[in-house]
Chain A
Amino acid sequence: MPEHAINGAPLLTLSGVSKSFGAVRALVDSKLELRMGEVHALVGENGAGKSTLVKILAGVHAPTGGVLTLDGEPRAFAGPVEARAAGIAVIYQEPTLFPDLSVTENIFMGRQPLRGLRRIDASTMRRRTTDLFTRLGVHLDADRPARGLSIADQQLVEIAKALSFDARVLVMDEPTAALSGVEVERLFAVVRSLREAGVAILFISHRFDEVFAHCQRITVMRDGRWVSTDRVEDLDVGQVVRRMVGREISQLYPKQETQPGAAALEVSGLTRQGVFEDVSFTLRRGEIVALAGLVGAGRSEVVRAVFGVDRYDSGEVRVDGVRLPRAKPAAAIAAGVALVPEDRRQQGLVMQLSIERNATLPRRWSLARLGLLGWGAEREDASRWAQRLQVKAGRLSDPVSTLSGGNQQKVVLAKWLSTEPKVLIVDEPTRGIDVGTKAEVHRLMSQLAANGVAVLMVSSELPEVLGMADRVLVMHEGRIVEEIARDRADEESVMLAATGQRQGGAA
């Protein structure tokens, strides 16, 4: 096969592939071409459709349209088993091993070598595992259980699994995100030897230094669409970032200029082992601060710790100079902090309860008379907020699950705004909301800031970050790597910091 590798013949192609989940179009008319003996990078912002594409290659999702060819033959995989049988191996960001089973069993699960009467040939299986590890040049005990393996070692087990069925296409979804420097080097040593053996490798990463050092071609995706495919020699980091972002900032962001007041929220040295480290920032009244970064950078984890939902190991959180106790959301609410969570269906709303119930939930005690919560008080209060936020609902007594995503988000906002918070934390405030409602949510946040509320916004949407924030704090791998003022913030500066290209700044 190595002689073919020199030709770099296309081994696997996707053309015109699209995938919709209900009304959401995750992938639109995208394409990809993988060649033998080539490491091909796939880059794009969060939500650009990379993971959907990977799952199509893995046979987990069937594309809604388009063609996948292997060796020039069009193929359709009915499931992961067929994709694997065709020689496609996928290593997910989070390795998918069975913690209770041995490393050997993990590699051969479902494909164990057999002896008479279809019994598993344990000794052959074990020997092949040690052979694989020798080939990869790693020292792992074939009999140890997968539980307790580091992420790096788990990935090596996954690679051994790919080798065990002679995979011709190896897809790696952000394999280096959780690895240390030495581990990354070891991984790339393995990847190089696979490439020399003629394997086609698809490498998904946010680390441009790795992409440029180890890949031959780069495909950029944006908003579920293919943008470009070029040889690395013809590109530089700036070009790639511009193509990834590539949007005009619309004038949808009605940011009101405000004068920041006194410090409302002070976070210093907040650390949780292995999740985020030494996070410090100050939030002043009347200010909107965005926490930007890639998925997995630790943004949601930080705000959850600030609000007291999750624990932290060290550091402190002060509201108006008063230190908040750890892991006590009730204390945070009492001190005037409100958190609008990322996943409103799971964490923000009680879906079966009525709109009015949901909206008044945090204040059920203050609204009650003699410990009894009257319908009148609840309804009156809820309708006032519904009007203010322009919630479009049939009746306030309808379950909140009947509302559209945007209106649900408004109910969550109403719920917390009615507590008259000093500090409002919003995690992905406009995810899954249509453009019109987005603007309303933005207007509301801006108005709140103008009224003196300190707003901390976690967002993966760059235009939203740039349009709304007075300051942008950029997180990368659990640390705040840069603080960018509004006038200096643009897509490139934020993206470069978020991908770890620029270290330093105000941490």
Chain B
Amino acid sequence: MSTPTKAVAPLPTRPRGDVRGARRLFLVRELGIALVLVLLIAVTTIYNPRFLNAQSRKDLMLGASILVVLAVGQAIVVITRNVDLSVGSVLGLSAFGTGKLFLAVPDAPIVLALLAGVGLGLVCGIVNGALIAVARVPALVVTLGTLYVFRGIDHSWAAGQQINAADMPSGFKRMGTQTLLGIPILALFAIAVLLIAGYYLRSYRSGREMYAIGSDPAAARLSGIPVGWRVFTAMAVSGGLAGLAGVLYAARFGTLDAAAGNGIELQVIAAVVVGGVAIFGGSGSVYGAALGALLLSTIGAALPVLRIDPFWQQAVVGALILAAIGMDRALTARIASRLRGRRATGA
């Protein structure tokens, strides 16, 4: 085989389907969310021009930052055909831990707080990953369990205690409110996380292997991909990012008790799904997930401005998830039929 094989006479080309069209459809998902987002902002701004003034823009970005960080971690996990339900509890644990750290060492450097939060989250993620790898229990079940366990630890640690913004050093609180070139520092964290994760998934072998695992776990095993190890890594990363989100949460809100981040895991999964990451793994991107998070938090901010009953907010989010899933099915069917070479009707 060191010498090149003789080329076989090419057979007549058969129609191969509309590959380029199919590829175009792949982009539709992310573009669709971006379009909905732009539309929402436009309509709200027309209704109330103050929606886009400097303060409001900053609030929008601040509100989205934490959700984006969580959504990036969750997207990595979902791409491998797993799910992490414990992120809300990890966030709570890390946020409260950050408060405790500043209570104990009032002049601790911010970097230390960040490292401690990420480290704590990483430990939680490692616990999740180890349980999945060793006990061979589905991630859904493991993280449902640790959702309660981590929250329980948080509660018993807090023992009813509340940490107030006054207990936090002012430098740390400034991190939660200050902007750099008009962009809040917290949003810069989110953007950095997003770009690093996006680049890693795109350009590194282990990143591509995560997609392969989600696409077909059995085939991944046959091609020698260390499936257990990759899933473990994904869970650890998700935990670490939830830990980071906890520190950002502490910086933004200052007032902390054991209930921080309660129930946010469902918002995060909603953001990921709305953002076009297939719940059965293998496709989608962290950029889509981040757009989904941005859309959900913008809806949360826009509905009150539009004077819509907050009750409807949940219904809108629900409808959006169903629409995202419906669109996903429709796109998959259309891509499949294009690739098979049958002309999809319409389009």
Is B283's CB under 8 angstroms from A100's CB? Answer: yes
**Does A392 touch B at the CB level, under 8 Å?**
no
One digit per residue, 1 when the CB lies within 8 angstroms of any chain B CB and 0 when it does not, for chain A 112-152 equals 10100011101000000000001111111101110111000
Report how far A439 CA is from B10 CA in the complex, Å. 56
- Chain B residues lying within 8 Å of A114, measured Cβ to Cβ, are 205
One digit per residue, 1 when the CB lies within 8 angstroms of any chain B CB and 0 when it does not, for chain A 156-196 equals 00000001001110000000000000100010011011101
Q: Which residues of chain B from 259 to 301 have a CB within 8 Å of any chain A CB?
A: 278, 282-283
- Chain B residues lying within 8 Å of A96, measured Cβ to Cβ, are 216, 218-219, 222-223
- Chain B residues lying within 8 Å of A149, measured Cβ to Cβ, are 339
One digit per residue, 1 when the CB lies within 8 angstroms of any chain A CB and 0 when it does not, for chain B 136-161 equals 00000000000000000000000000
- Chain A residues lying within 8 Å of B211, measured Cβ to Cβ, are 98, 100-101
Is A100's CB under 8 angstroms from B5's CB? Answer: no
A84-B224, A145-B339 given; A99·B8 CB < 8 A: no
- Chain A residues lying within 8 Å of B336, measured Cβ to Cβ, are 147-148
**Does A79 touch B at the CB level, under 8 Å?**
yes
Q: Which residues of chain B from 91 to 130 have a CB within 8 Å of any chain A CB?
A: none
One digit per residue, 1 when the CB lies within 8 angstroms of any chain A CB and 0 when it does not, for chain B 212-251 equals 1011101111111100000000000000000000000000
Is A99's CB under 8 angstroms from B215's CB? Answer: yes
**Does A12 touch B at the CB level, under 8 Å?**
no
- Chain A residues lying within 8 Å of B10, measured Cβ to Cβ, are 137-139
Is B339's CB under 8 angstroms from A109's CB? Answer: no
The chain A residue sitting closest to B340, CB to CB, is A148
A98-B215, A98-B282, A100-B214 given; A80·B6 CB < 8 A: no
Is A101's CB under 8 angstroms from B225's CB? Answer: no
Is B17's CB under 8 angstroms from A148's CB? Answer: yes
The chain B residue sitting closest to A97, CB to CB, is B219
Is A189's CB under 8 angstroms from B8's CB? Answer: yes
Is B215's CB under 8 angstroms from A190's CB? Answer: no
Is B17's CB under 8 angstroms from A79's CB? Answer: no
**Does B307 touch A at the CB level, under 8 Å?**
no
**Does A81 touch B at the CB level, under 8 Å?**
yes
Is A190's CB under 8 angstroms from B212's CB? Answer: no
- Chain A residues lying within 8 Å of B220, measured Cβ to Cβ, are 98
One digit per residue, 1 when the CB lies within 8 angstroms of any chain A CB and 0 when it does not, for chain B 186-216 equals 0000000000000000011100110110111
- Chain A residues lying within 8 Å of B7, measured Cβ to Cβ, are 134-137, 193
Is A147's CB under 8 angstroms from B208's CB? Answer: no
Is B1's CB under 8 angstroms from A81's CB? Answer: no
Report how far A96 CA is from B224 CA in the complex, Å. 12
The chain B residue sitting closest to A188, CB to CB, is B8
Is B223's CB under 8 angstroms from A109's CB? Answer: yes
- How many residues in B have their beta carbons less than 8 Å from beta carbons of A? 43
Is B216's CB under 8 angstroms from A137's CB? Answer: no
Report how far A442 CA is from B8 CA in the complex, Å. 54
Is A119's CB under 8 angstroms from B3's CB? Answer: no
Report how far A101 CA is from B223 CA in the complex, Å. 14
Q: Which residues of chain B from 1 to 30 have a CB within 8 Å of any chain A CB?
A: 1-11, 13, 16-17, 19, 22-23
The chain B residue sitting closest to A149, CB to CB, is B339
Report how far A145 CA is from B336 CA in the complex, Å. 10
- Chain A residues lying within 8 Å of B223, measured Cβ to Cβ, are 80, 96, 109-110
Residue from the list B23, B205, B283, B339 in contact with A120, Cβ < 8 A: B205
- Chain A residues lying within 8 Å of B68, measured Cβ to Cβ, are none
- Chain B residues lying within 8 Å of A58, measured Cβ to Cβ, are 222
Is A109's CB under 8 angstroms from B225's CB? Answer: yes
Q: Which residues of chain A from 66 to 116 have a CB within 8 Å of any chain B CB?
A: 79-81, 84, 92, 96-101, 105, 109-110, 112, 114
- Chain B residues lying within 8 Å of A118, measured Cβ to Cβ, are 204-205
Residue from the list B208, B278, B282, B339 in contact with A148, Cβ < 8 A: B339
Is B339's CB under 8 angstroms from A193's CB? Answer: no
Nearest-CB distance from A100 to chain B (Å)?
A: 4
Residue from the list B3, B13, B216, B224 in contact with A98, Cβ < 8 A: B216
Report how far A105 CA is from B283 CA in the complex, Å. 13
A97-B216, A137-B11, A147-B339 given; A60·B5 CB < 8 A: no
Is A199's CB under 8 angstroms from B224's CB? Answer: no
- Chain B residues lying within 8 Å of A196, measured Cβ to Cβ, are 5-6
**Does B90 touch A at the CB level, under 8 Å?**
no
Is A139's CB under 8 angstroms from B16's CB? Answer: yes
Interface class of chain A by DSSP: loop
Is A109's CB under 8 angstroms from B208's CB? Answer: yes
The chain B residue sitting closest to A137, CB to CB, is B8
Nearest-CB distance from A306 to chain B (Å)?
A: 30
Nearest-CB distance from B4 to chain A (Å)?
A: 7
A96-B219, A148-B336 given; A101·B212 CB < 8 A: yes
- Chain A residues lying within 8 Å of B338, measured Cβ to Cβ, are 148
Count chain B CB atoms within 10 A of each CB in A100, A105, A145, A194 and give the residue with the most: A100
Report how far A97 CA is from B215 CA in the complex, Å. 9
The chain B residue sitting closest to A118, CB to CB, is B204
**Does B302 touch A at the CB level, under 8 Å?**
no
Is B216's CB under 8 angstroms from A99's CB? Answer: yes
Is A135's CB under 8 angstroms from B225's CB? Answer: no
A80-B223, A98-B216 given; A105·B9 CB < 8 A: no
Is B282's CB under 8 angstroms from A193's CB? Answer: no
Nearest-CB distance from B5 to chain A (Å)?
A: 5
Is A120's CB under 8 angstroms from B216's CB? Answer: no
Nearest-CB distance from A152 to chain B (Å)?
A: 10
- Chain B residues lying within 8 Å of A105, measured Cβ to Cβ, are 208, 212
Report how far A186 CA is from B11 CA in the complex, Å. 8
A110-B209, A120-B205, A139-B16 given; A2·B216 CB < 8 A: no
Is B209's CB under 8 angstroms from A166's CB? Answer: no
- Chain A residues lying within 8 Å of B3, measured Cβ to Cβ, are 1-2, 197
Report how far A262 CA is from B271 CA in the complex, Å. 64
One digit per residue, 1 when the CB lies within 8 angstroms of any chain B CB and 0 when it does not, for chain A 193-206 equals 11011110000000
Is A100's CB under 8 angstroms from B215's CB? Answer: yes
Count chain B CB atoms within 10 A of each CB in A2, A110, A114 and give the residue with the most: A110
- Chain B residues lying within 8 Å of A148, measured Cβ to Cβ, are 17, 335-336, 338-340
The chain B residue sitting closest to A136, CB to CB, is B8
Nearest-CB distance from B130 to chain A (Å)?
A: 22
Residue from the list A120, A189, A199 in contact with B9, Cβ < 8 A: A189
Count chain B CB atoms within 10 A of each CB in A98, A105, A110, A122 and give the residue with the most: A98
Is B19's CB under 8 angstroms from A110's CB? Answer: no
23 contacts between A and B (CB under 8 A): A60-B222, A80-B222, A81-B224, A96-B222, A97-B216, A99-B215, A105-B212, A109-B208, A109-B223, A110-B224, A110-B225, A118-B204, A119-B203, A120-B205, A120-B208, A138-B10, A139-B10, A140-B16, A148-B339, A148-B340, A182-B11, A193-B8, A199-B1
Closest 7 CB pairs of A and B: A148-B339, A81-B224, A137-B8, A96-B219, A100-B282, A98-B215, A100-B215
Interface residues of A (CB under 8 A from B): 1-2, 58, 60, 79-81, 84, 92, 96-101, 105, 109-110, 112, 114, 118-120, 122, 134-141, 143-145, 147-149, 163, 166-168, 182, 186, 189-190, 192-194, 196-199
**Apart from A112-B205, A139-B13, A193-B5: 20 A-B pairs, beta carbons within 8 A:** A1-B1, A79-B224, A80-B221, A80-B222, A81-B224, A98-B212, A99-B215, A100-B214, A100-B278, A101-B211, A109-B208, A110-B224, A137-B7, A140-B16, A141-B16, A145-B339, A147-B336, A190-B8, A193-B8, A196-B6
